[in-house]
Structure 1
């Protein structure tokens, strides 16, 4: 996975700039990872890609 940069966040969303080699599925999988200190927490992520910010 190549470098990604968080450029903004809005409430429960994160807006990133990423190389075209990164897929939305890869980013969602990364965001759904549960940290050790939150064992048992259910996390899920959904995403889309576009050339400019827009609400889903």
Structure 2
């Protein structure tokens, strides 16, 4: 039974490595368009907020 355990350890490690490799190499570009559009809206809002006459001046 101990031999079986020693044979299963590398098998589980190989399966875990394959799962991790698949997860690490996934395509993550699908959400970039929405994130960039949100950042552009944020930048526009910050520019509008900073251009008001009630801005704090030293």
Give the TM-score, by structure 1 length.
Answer: 0.25
| Higher helix fraction (1 or 2) | 2
Give the TM-score, by structure 2 length.
Answer: 0.25
Asked which structure has the greater CA Rg, the reply is 2
